[in-house]
């Protein structure tokens, strides 16, 4: 599977779109904002730039796409006014894979810019320039030493490819309790290669003293087979797919050849790669957890199984369609909702989601 050519979040604003099923991602960004603000404040104070280039990697589409960069512009403007400096030109580079719904982002840009202008007190703020940069962040995206600030949220747990030589992970689509020992090792090795490549590319593109804040799903345990909120959701989806196999809707060999290009690393795995690559100083490396039950209550989600199913569908449907075809999607997710409903009483669907937050400075 060519992940870079296949993976994209569901486009548009419909019931199963990413735009309508990314409240969790918005909550994670909001929780991370103090660290983002700290990093930008330190960057501005130490460099006093006359212009800034900000990149958001894995921007996706919908309500969250321009949220962080809008907040960053407001932070910079506040710092600029406080210090009595002249206004800055700011270039914003929005990156995602080629299949991303960039059209929705840029259609919303005029209203975002208008709201931003109304919120900023200074009339001489800006100007701001927005550009889309399609491509995989597991390769070079920008010119050398061109970036001052880089942000990425809920993207780096997606791998560049499904790990090789895991054909024996039968009836599973991810690391599960029944996976052979080589499977978690293959996933871990793939993450190490990908994250190392990511760091090398960003090291070339960032200026000395530039800041980078990354947030992605992780795990508390060093054992990747331990159940967490992420593993459970993929196991339930595997159950739905296996049900399709038993009914003859999906061929068994088709099921056995499908695995999700996704990995939730531990804090030590991430730290090891940063230190080994050697281009960045670690300012913060933290774990945070979101309680799914609390999250659902906050957003008044009464039908938990439907919301949970739609959130997975919004991020994984493109992978399923590419492998199995679009004819099975409604049946799979109908069964998936049924399985989730059956497991709510066991609290497996409400397991907490662990997030890793990394703030680094380019040496």
Q: What is the pLDDT of residues 225-243, one digit of tens each?
A: 876 656 788 999 999 999 9
pLDDT of residue 131: 95
Residue 130 belongs to domain spanning: 3-362
User: For the domain that residue 105 is a member of, what is the CATH number?
Assistant: 3.40.50.150
pTM of the model: 0.94
Phi-psi map region of 84: left, alpha, beta (phi>0 left; psi -120 to 50 alpha): left
Whether the CB-CB separation of 228 and 166 falls below 8 Å is answered with no
What secondary structure, in 3-state letters, does the chain show?
A: CCHHHHCCCCCCCCCCCCCCCCHHHHHHHHHHHHHHHHHHHHHHHHHCCCEEEEEEECCCCCCCCCHHHHHHHHHHHHHHHHHCCCCCEEEEEEEECCCCCHHHHHHHHHHHHHHHHHHCCCCCCCCEEEEEEECCCCCCCCCCCCEEEEEEECCCCECCCCCCCCCCCCCCCCCCCCCCCHHHHHHHHHHHHHHHHHHHHHHHHEEEEEEEEEEEECECCCCCCCCCHHHHHHHHHHHHHHHHHHCCCCCHHHHHCCCCCECCCEHHHHHHHHHHHCCEEEEEEEEEEECHHHHHHHCCCCCHHHHHHHHHHHHHHHHHHHHHCHHHHHHHHHHHHHHHHHHHHHCHHHCCEEEEEEEEEEC
Whether the CB-CB separation of 45 and 154 falls below 8 Å is answered with no
pLDDT of residue 351: 63
284 phi/psi in degrees, rounded to 5? -145, 140
Q: For residue 127, say if its preceding peptide bond is cis, omega within 30 degrees of 0.
A: yes
Phi-psi map region of 154: left, alpha, beta (phi>0 left; psi -120 to 50 alpha): left
Residues of the chain with pLDDT under 50: none
User: How many angstroms from the chain centroid is the CA of residue 281?
Assistant: 22
pLDDT of residue 326: 92
Q: How many residues does the chain have?
A: 363
pLDDT of residue 294: 66
Phi-psi map region of 300: left, alpha, beta (phi>0 left; psi -120 to 50 alpha): left
pLDDT of residue 295: 66
Produce one character per residue of 237-276: b if its CB has 16 or more CB atoms within 10 Å, e if not.
Answer: bbbbbbbbbeeeebeeeebbebbbbbbbbbbebbeebbee
Whether the CB-CB separation of 70 and 117 falls below 8 Å is answered with no
Distance CA 311, CA 321 (A): 16
Quote the tokens at residue 312.
Answer: 């997975």
pLDDT, one tens digit per residue, over 106-140 is 888 888 888 887 787 666 777 889 999 999 999 99
Domain count, the chain: 1
pLDDT of residue 299: 58
Instruction: Give Cα separations from 287 to 24, 59, 214, 215, 270 (angstroms).
Output: 16, 22, 12, 10, 11
pLDDT of residue 217: 94
Residue 225: which residues within 8 A CB-CB, separation 6 or more? 175, 176, 177, 179, 184, 231
């Amino acid at each position: 599977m060519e992940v870079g050519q296949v993976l994209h979040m569901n486009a548009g604003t419909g019931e199963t779109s990413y735009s309508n099923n990314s409240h969790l991602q918005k909550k994670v960004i909001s929780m991370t904002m103090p660290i983002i603000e700290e990093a930008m404040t330190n960057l501005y104070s130490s460099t006093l730039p006359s212009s800034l280039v900000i990149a958001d990697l894995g921007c996706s589409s919908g309500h969250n796409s321009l949220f962080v960069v809008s907040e960053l512009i407001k932070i910079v403007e506040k710092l600029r006014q406080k210090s009595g400096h002249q206004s800055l030109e700011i270039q914003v580079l929005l990156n995602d894979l080629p299949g991303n719904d960039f059209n929705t982002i840029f259609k919303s840009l005029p209203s975002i810019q208008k709201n931003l202008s109304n919120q900023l007190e200074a009339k001489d703020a800006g100007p701001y320039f927005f550009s889309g940069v399609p491509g995989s962040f597991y390769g070079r995206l920008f010119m050398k030493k061109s970036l001052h600030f880089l942000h990425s949220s809920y993207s780096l747990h997606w791998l560049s490819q499904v790990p090789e030589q895991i054909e024996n992970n039968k009836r599973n689509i991810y690391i599960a309790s029944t996976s052979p020992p080589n499977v978690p090792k293959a996933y871990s090795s793939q993450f190490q290669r990908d994250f190392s490549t990511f760091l090398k590319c960003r090291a070339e593109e960032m200026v000395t003293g530039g800041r980078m804040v990354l947030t992605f799903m992780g795990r508390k345990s060093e054992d990747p087979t331990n159940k967490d909120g992420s593993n459970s959701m993929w196991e339930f989806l595997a159950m739905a797919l296996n049900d399709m196999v038993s009914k003859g809707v999906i061929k068994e060999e088709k099921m056995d050849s499908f695995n999700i290009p996704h990995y939730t690393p531990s804090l030590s795995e991430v730290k090891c790669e940063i230190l080994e690559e050697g281009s960045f100083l670690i300012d913060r490396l933290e774990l945070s957890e979101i309680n799914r039950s609390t999250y659902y209550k906050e957003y008044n989600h009464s039908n938990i199984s439907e919301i949970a199913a739609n959130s997975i569908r919004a991020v994984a449907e493109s992978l399923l369609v590419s492998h199995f075809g679009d004819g099975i999607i409604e049946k799979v997710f109908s069964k998936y909702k049924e399985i989730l409903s059956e497991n709510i009483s066991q609290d497996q669907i409400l397991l907490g989601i662990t997030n890793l937050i990394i703030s680094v400075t380019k040496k």
